[in-house]
Amino acid sequence: MKKITIKVNGMVCGGCEKRVKNALENIEGIKKVDANHKKATVTISSADEIETKIIEEKIEDLGFEVVK
């Protein structure tokens, strides 16, 4: 299982976490998503390597900022 963590600005509540989690879980290959607004992180677990750009674009489409 591969795991990546992305720093995300703009998540301020549990609702934000749920929006990010639901959107990312729809990406093929992603097995688990943990979003934490207090830590401003999203951790993604997948069976295979997933292109980070796809994940970052999905997060930004929701109105959040990916910190690089």
What is the per-residue pLDDT for 1?
85
**Average of pLDDT values for 38-59?**
94
CATH of domain 6-67: 3.30.70.100
User: Considering the entire predicted model, what is its pTM?
Assistant: 0.92
Reported as a single tens digit per residue, the pLDDT across 5-41 is: 999 999 999 999 999 999 999 999 999 999 999 999 9
Q: For residue 58, how far is the Cα from the chain centroid?
A: 8
33 burial type by CB count under 10 A (0-12 exposed, 13-18 middle, 19+ buried): buried
Both tokens assigned to 52: 């980070």
**Domain extent listing, the chain:** 6-67
Q: How far apart are the first and last CA of the chain?
A: 23
> In 14-51, which residue ranges form alpha helices assigned H by DSSP?
14-25
pLDDT value at 50 more than 90 = no
pLDDT value at 44 more than 90 = yes
